[in-house]
Structure 1
């Protein structure tokens, strides 16, 4: 989880490959109207995000029900968004879900966004994402330095997962 440019997709894809499980990019589940708003540089609000979060919640719930490991890259900017991802899960099922927060300095994130092309994410939205971000409580997520190489981040995540 984290703001745009923190490496969610890159790290998520590598992690899923390392774990031999399916990768889901949360960006793929935004409705077209959300993608258009972001393309135009308009920040999404809670109402915009509701159907997107419901779709991601279904992915998580299905994986838990099917007893399958997955990696889901998702901004999950607010605590209530992270809670929505866990809606309708029992306590023991919630314990199966881990949040890994890729935290990065704004200047680094800006450089990354300036050097990449994204289907619809307008780099001008980074400031609004940072303003919206509610960093998770440290007991609810593993904080990772988004400035590290993706392979280093994957190794850290796997190490953490092996101790839980």
Structure 2
């Protein structure tokens, strides 16, 4: 089993799908948000978008975690830019990504709904969409509709990760 990154903009459902997939596939879940520095968390709380430099240590930490779990790991990480995804791929050859695709209005509504319990400022959703470089067309990427029921998404991703070869 290779590792997998559940990716997308804020509010797309990375944490929910990551948890469901980790449970279904008996893998460890690494919640990417837990590995942001305190300074980065404070910037996001204040509505200040992170820079590539802010994300550098975070991506290095996630890469180290991927290298340390060769048996497989589910990682939630926005992975908004191709360069971020390439850094993670270097850490874990064969790494796959599930892109939870969502429109801006739905993402904004979800971020607003979780605002009381999450450090991410609702004012940053526009920046997330401006930063996103779609992974569609990259090798090892599955695009899914973030608005589908969680159980359906988990089933689809698990089937993609573990294709069966049934004889006809």
Provide the TM-score with structure 2 as the length reference.
0.88
Deviates more, 1:72-81 or 1:135-144: 135-144
Q: Distance in 1 between the 2:109 and 2:118 partners?
A: 18
Q: Mapping of 1:93-104 within 5 angstroms? A: 94-95=93-94, 97-104=95-102
What corresponds to 2:109 in structure 1?
111
Displacement of 1:88 in angstroms is: 4.8
**Across the two proteins, how many residue pairs are aligned to each other?**
156
Deviates more, 1:55-64 or 1:115-124: 115-124
What corresponds to 1:126 in structure 2?
125
State the Cα deviation string for residues 57-100 of structure 1 (Å, max 9, x = none): 00111112xxx2210000000000011112355xxxx12x1100
CA RMSD across the alignment: 1.3
What corresponds to 1:8 in structure 2?
14
What corresponds to 1:159 in structure 2?
159
Q: Is the 8 A contact 2:64 2:91 kept in 1?
A: no
> Please, which runs of 5 or more residues in structure 1 have no aligned partner?
none
Is 2:82 aligned against 1:79? yes
SS in 2 for 1:77: coil
Q: Distance in 2 between the 1:98 and 1:125 partners?
A: 26
Q: Is the 8 A contact 1:60 1:86 kept in 2?
A: no
Instruction: List 4+ stretches of structure 1 deviating above 6 A.
Output: none
Q: Distance in 2 between the 1:50 and 1:41 partners?
A: 19
Q: Distance in 2 between the 1:110 and 1:125 partners?
A: 9
Q: Distance in 1 between the 2:10 and 2:23 partners?
A: 22
> Please, which runs of 5 or more residues in structure 2 have no aligned partner?
1-6
